[in-house]
């Protein structure tokens, strides 16, 4: 028997040792392969190569490739806005790139990102090179971008969707009542409409007014942009939308001057081959991933401008946060900003904000860090598609704010919500009893309604938070608190409107923000360092894999109900007073 246990122990130890060696080898292989991913070889294009941009996927400001997907499944994440802008610039300057081929797909993003890409393509055309667009189907956002092309082709059986903008709000009051749940709401701001979905069954007049206002401004900019690029009138564009011609025969789009010709994809690619001067049997193209790896003559410069990305909900990391969005703005942003503050090579920081807001507490902590950085070096905000509520809170601390004309911003206001589940408990036959040492020890207990004195305390807390928000914005913008309050009240503005109101300094993209940062830092010869925000590569990598597995399981189990589940998780994760956009923005 003793011999048996000795053999069993030896065998078990051997298994563990072998497993350990295998895991160690796998780790070193993974490190090596991940390193090779991050240092792709330089790409040298052949003469007359065409840069092909496939407009697919969800466009974010800044993404990093998923190493696991790349290593084992050869799946690449769609290029980010940063990568596309860089690739378009490189393609403009490289003598071997003959032009750009835009293939419309299902790409979705905010209207401000479409604007940034349009501006880059218009700049590209100054080189004299061509831009050709083709689509089986053009979504409104895809067409807005493609309208800058020299020639726009549509499949003879395709569709051009120009129908105008619409916003839908889902109200949960009815289902909450059926479940026996009543939401206790505390807010400051006439236009802070986020809470309306839980306490009303339709939009308030104030909320409807602000939605109509910002959508009208964005639609005006879109139609003007299309009209200018296509050399037609704004009335021609609105006529197409107003008449429902998106559902008519494709020939109508040609008649209205929105499409040049109806052609099949192979015919378009043959046409591109001809104008590019290619003689190959097949159109020779290069993707964004290849273009960004074209070797350019860049000198190593001592002075740097750090571009730090703040994208997603502002919230402290929790178990619930992984179900909401793969991008969240957490305490890690403060750590990263502090790191850039201490780096002597970094002479200025551009913070790229793309956020609907979130935790008022965390917004204040980020605001404080930016104030501390400003004592040593300038900070400039570059607003993406959305920089509202908490997103504006953190932006207000900067030296300068740059926004796109169609950026959604403002929404200066806060709120808090407490569910009262008394009705639900009664329906389920659940009773509770509380033993406490002090009067307010059980404040926020969901099993009973809030008392009037508790409501007064919470409302006063929310009002103090709003007053602090006003003071922060007033200090940052050099305005009086009263003047900020006039344009606050939770009201949502476009970047164009915000500039007129003094909430934004300049209109433009991230390039303009970088240029302003260089001026403030008094530097002219510098390099740009884009910061992804990941402080620990391997920790972030393995955490992301775990989060993706959890999210995939939940999505598979819930199907179409996943978005509703995500909303519930957002409420659970949104602890404390919130400074958040009134609703989720839909892409153009």
89-144 pLDDT, tens per residue? 999 999 999 999 999 998 999 999 999 999 999 999 999 999 999 999 999 999 99
- Taking Cα atoms as reference points, which of 559, 586, 581 lies closest to residue 570? 581
What is d(CA 324, CA 312) in angstroms, rounded to the nearest whole number? 10
Lowest mean pLDDT among 35-49, 52-66, 418-432, 442-456: 35-49
Residue 159 CA from chain centroid, whole number: 27
| Overall average pLDDT of the 504-518 stretch | 97
Find the catalytic residue in 389, 395, 411, 574: 389
Number of Cβ atoms within 10 Å of the Cβ of 463: 14
* Residue 534 confidence (pLDDT): 41
Lowest mean pLDDT among 252-261, 484-493, 571-580: 571-580
On the CB side of 387, CA atoms within 13 Å amount to: 30
Q: If pLDDT is split at 50, 70 and 90, which confidence band does 500 have?
A: very high
Lowest mean pLDDT among 201-205, 475-479, 583-587: 583-587
Between 520 and 543, the higher pLDDT residue? 520
Question: Is residue 367 within 8 Å of residue 388, measured between CB atoms?
Answer: no
Residue found under tokens 């009303």: 200
| Overall average pLDDT of the 348-365 stretch | 94
pTM score: 0.83
Question: Is residue 246 within 8 Å of residue 163, measured between CB atoms?
Answer: yes
Lowest mean pLDDT among 61-65, 139-143, 395-399: 61-65
Say if residue 30's pLDDT is above 60. Answer: no
Between 211 and 538, the higher pLDDT residue? 211
Say if residue 578's pLDDT is above 90. Answer: no
Find the catalytic residue in 52, 92, 129, 192: 192
Helix (H) or strand (E) holding 587: none
Q: If pLDDT is split at 50, 70 and 90, which confidence band does 16 have?
A: very low
| Overall average pLDDT of the 530-555 stretch | 52
* Residue 492 confidence (pLDDT): 94
* Residue 328 confidence (pLDDT): 85
- pLDDT tens-digit map of 206-247: 999 999 999 999 999 999 999 999 999 999 999 999 999 999
Domains (ranges, CATH) in the chain? 49-163+244-291 (3.90.226.10), 304-416+466-580 (3.90.226.10)
- Taking Cα atoms as reference points, which of 67, 68, 109, 62 lies closest to residue 82? 62
Average pLDDT, rounded, for the chain: 85
Q: Which of 181-195, 457-471, 562-576 has the highest mean pLDDT?
A: 457-471
Q: If pLDDT is split at 50, 70 and 90, which confidence band does 314 have?
A: very high
Q: Is 389 marked active-site? A: yes
Euclidean distance between the first and final Cα of the chain, in Å? 75
The pairs formed by 502-505 with CB atoms below 8 angstroms and a separation of 24 or more are: 502/477, 503/392, 503/401, 503/409, 503/410, 503/473, 503/477, 504/383, 504/401, 504/402, 504/403, 504/407, 504/409, 505/400, 505/401, 505/402
């Amino acid at each position: 028997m003793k011999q048996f246990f000795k053999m069993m122990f030896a065998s078990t130890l051997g298994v563990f040792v072998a497993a350990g060696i295998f895991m160690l080898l796998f780790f070193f292989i993974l490190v090596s392969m991940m390193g090779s991913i991050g240092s792709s070889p330089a790409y040298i294009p052949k003469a007359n190569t065409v840069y092909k941009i496939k407009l697919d996927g969800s466009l974010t400001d800044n993404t990093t490739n998923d190493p696991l997907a790349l290593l084992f499944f050869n799946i690449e994440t769609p290029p980010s806005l940063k990568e596309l802008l860089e690739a378009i610039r490189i393609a403009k300057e490289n003598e071997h790139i003959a032009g750009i081929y835009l293939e419309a797909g299902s790409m979705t993003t905010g209207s401000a990102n479409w604007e940034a890409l349009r501006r880059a393509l218009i700049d590209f055309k100054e080189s004299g090179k061509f831009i050709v667009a083709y689509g089986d189907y053009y979504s409104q956002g895809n067409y807005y971008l493609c309208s800058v092309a020299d020639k726009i082709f549509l499949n003879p059986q395709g569709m051009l969707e120009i129908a105008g903008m619409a916003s839908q709000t889902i109200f949960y009051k009815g289902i909450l009542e059926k479940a026996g749940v009543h939401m206790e709401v505390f807010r400051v701001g006439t236009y802070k409409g986020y809470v309306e979905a839980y306490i009303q069954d339709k939009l308030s007049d104030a909320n409807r007014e602000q939605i109509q206002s910002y959508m009208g401004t964005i639609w005006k900019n879109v139609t003007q942009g299309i009209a200018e690029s296509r050399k037609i009138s704004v009335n021609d564009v609105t006529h197409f939308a107003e008449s429902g011609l998106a559902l008519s025969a494709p020939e109508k789009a040609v008649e209205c001057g929105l499409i040049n010709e109806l052609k099949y994809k192979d015919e378009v690619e043959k046409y591109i081959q001809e104008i590019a001067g290619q003689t190959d049997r097949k159109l020779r193209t290069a993707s964004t991933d290849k273009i960004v790896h074209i070797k350019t003559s860049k000198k190593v410069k001592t002075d740097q401008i750090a571009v730090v990305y703040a994208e997603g909900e502002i919230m402290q990391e929790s178990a619930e946060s992984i179900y909401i969005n793969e991008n969240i703005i957490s305490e890690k942003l403060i750590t990263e900003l502090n790191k850039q503050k201490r780096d002597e090579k970094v002479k200025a920081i551009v913070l790229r904000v793309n956020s609907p807001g979130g935790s008022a507490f965390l917004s204040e902590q980020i605001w404080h860090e930016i104030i501390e950085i400003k004592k040593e070096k300038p900070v400039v905000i570059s607003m993406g598609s959305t920089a509202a509520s908490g997103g504006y809170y953190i932006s207000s601390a900067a030296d300068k704010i740059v926004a796109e004309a169609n950026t959604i911003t403002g929404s200066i206001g806060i709120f808090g919500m407490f569910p009262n589940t008394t009705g639900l408990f009664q329906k389920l036959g659940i009773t509770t009893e509380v033993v406490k040492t002090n009067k307010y020890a059980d404040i926020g207990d969901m099993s009973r309604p809030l008392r009037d004195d508790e409501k007064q305390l919470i409302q006063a807390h929310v009002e103090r938070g709003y007053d602090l928000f006003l003071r922060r914005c007033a200090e940052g913008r050099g305005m009086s608190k009263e003047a900020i309050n006039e344009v606050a009240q939770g009201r949502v503005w476009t970047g164009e409107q915000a500039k007129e109101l003094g909430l934004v300094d300049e209109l433009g993209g991230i390039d303009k923000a970088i240029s302003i940062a260089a001026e403030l830092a008094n530097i002219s010869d510098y390099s740009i360092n884009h910061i992804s925000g990941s402080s620990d590569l391997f920790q972030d990598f393995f955490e992301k894999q775990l989060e993706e597995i959890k999210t995939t399981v939940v999505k598979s189990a819930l199907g179409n109900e996943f978005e509703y589940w995500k909303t519930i998780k957002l409420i659970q994760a949104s602890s404390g007073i919130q400074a958040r956009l009134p609703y989720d923005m839909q892409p153009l």
